[in-house]
Structure 1
Amino acid sequence: MDAITKVLEKVEEQVDAELNKLSEMEEDDLERLKQKRLEALKKAQKQKQEWLSKGHGEYKEIPSEKDFFSEVKDSKKVVCHFYRDSTFRCKILDKHLSILAKKHMETKFLKLNAEKAPFLTERLRVKVIPTLALLIDGKTKDYVVGFSDLGNTDEFSTELLEWRLGCADVINYSGNLMEPPTQSKKSATKKVEKKTIRGRGYDSDSDSD
């Protein structure tokens, strides 16, 4: 009981110290602090509105490769999913990217049908579908090709993809970049089973032809 009392007394001392510190602050200091916080909130709100006006906050499809350039030019950070309707792994990525687009307002999330973008797929050397092109300031900085960076399993988590995008600095990642989120044992088992059944792996989804 004495130990608990000591802890409570310590907490009480800390609270008293904080209250004293606040009471010692001059009225002008408090007003300046309040004003600074208000300005920060206004700035954040303005930035959010700017992102929304540029199409951030949603995962959207662009109709052609011609539209790609204007979309990318408009935003500092872009994730573009090159997909194909016949590739089921693209639908798996769609699900995760839809979640991340809402969470990471600072980045624009796009998808483009690779079959409608021969020039771009050639220029960006997109040979495997799905491929995520990760762009910063209009330049391609990195790629996520197939699911090889995501544990080679269809059961990867949204958190793992988020970590991978964070490693490329294409989103503002708040976690530990040195340590990827752990995959469950269940996912690892499914990975082995699927690889055995499919046999050919990701090369079967190649666009190199």
Structure 2
Amino acid sequence: MDQILVSAAKQLEKQLDSEIERLDNLGADDIEAIRERRLKEMKQRQEKIIKWKQNGHGEYSELVDEKEFFEVSKKSENIVCHFYRDGAERCKIVDKHLRILAAKHIEARFCKVNAEKCPFLTTRLRIKVIPSIALIADNKTKDYIVGFTDLGNCDDFSTDMMEWRIAQSGAIEYNGDLLTPPDVKKRQTYENKNKTIKSSRAYDSDSSDGLDD
């Protein structure tokens, strides 16, 4: 095990040395080219953000009918659409999380549709369970979140969990680990912490017993 760690450390050191050497060898023209490329990327990103905001991104809003949905589809490449029904408690839970994520992920259009008022769209997208979320990327329906099965099959899942599941479709930008659900990581961390605390208490208990002798 120690040899593996040493080997990994040496490999990482080589990579760092190589990167440092590359940076040291950059000339003034190279640095200026990198700077110009970065400025161009920032400008393009800012232009996108302005366009996204004009198209309703950054907010979580309701679409009144099928016509509005298709208009949104023409303007936004990435859409997260919640199909809900009045009075459904789980739909309110979805609303809470999507409202937070809409402000965070301006690159996608977050919206909701009353399934009962839009029967044509609901049938066309094969929505059978409420709540359901249609995840659209590049103008194609790539995925669905049906009920809470993919969210831990519970009502108290985190917003991070919803974000992770939406990211599986490519509808939003995501820099985290797509292989491991956030709530699983948190549970593992909590369990490990509890084990450490219990172990520490057991040690303290043994020590106390010894001091009482």
| Structure 1 residue runs of 4 or more that deviate by more than 4 Å after TM superposition | none
Q: Which residue of 2 aligns with 1:146?
A: 147
SS in 2 for 1:115: coil
Q: Which residue of 2 aligns with 1:79?
A: 80
Which 5+ residue runs of structure 2 have no aligned equivalent? 1-15, 188-213
Separation (CA, whole Å) in 1 of partners of 2:57 and 2:103: 8
Work out whether residues 137 and 169 of structure 2, in 8 Å CA contact, stay in contact via their aligned partners in 1: no
2:65 aligned with 1:64, yes or no? yes
Shift of 1:80: 0.4
Q: CA RMSD in A?
A: 2.4
2:126 aligned with 1:125, yes or no? yes
Separation (CA, whole Å) in 1 of partners of 2:140 and 2:39: 35
Q: Which residue of 2 aligns with 1:160?
A: 161
Structure 2 residue identity aligned to 1:122: T
Separation (CA, whole Å) in 1 of partners of 2:67 and 2:95: 22
Q: Which residue of 2 aligns with 1:42?
A: 43
Separation (CA, whole Å) in 2 of partners of 1:45 and 1:60: 23
Separation (CA, whole Å) in 1 of partners of 2:158 and 2:176: 15
Which 5+ residue runs of structure 1 have no aligned equivalent? 1-13, 186-209
Separation (CA, whole Å) in 1 of partners of 2:81 and 2:71: 13
SS in 2 for 1:116: coil
Separation (CA, whole Å) in 2 of partners of 1:167 and 1:129: 20
2:62 aligned with 1:53, yes or no? no
Say which is worse superposed, 154-163 or 136-145, in terms of deviation.
Answer: 136-145
Q: Which residue of 2 aligns with 1:176?
A: 177
Work out whether residues 157 and 183 of structure 2, in 8 Å CA contact, stay in contact via their aligned partners in 1: no
Q: Which residue of 1 aligns with 2:135?
A: 134
Count of residues in Structure 1 that have an aligned counterpart in Structure 2: 170
Shift of 1:148: 1.0
Separation (CA, whole Å) in 2 of partners of 1:106 and 1:166: 12
Cα displacement string for residues 135-167 of structure 1 (whole angstroms, at most 9, x for unaligned residues) = 123322111111111111110001111111111
Shift of the 179–25 alpha-carbon distance from structure 1 to 2, 3 Å rule, reads: closer
Structure 2 residue identity aligned to 1:65: E
Work out whether residues 89 and 154 of structure 1, in 8 Å CA contact, stay in contact via their aligned partners in 2: yes
Structure 2 residue identity aligned to 1:33: I
State the TM-score, normalizing by the size of structure 1: 0.73
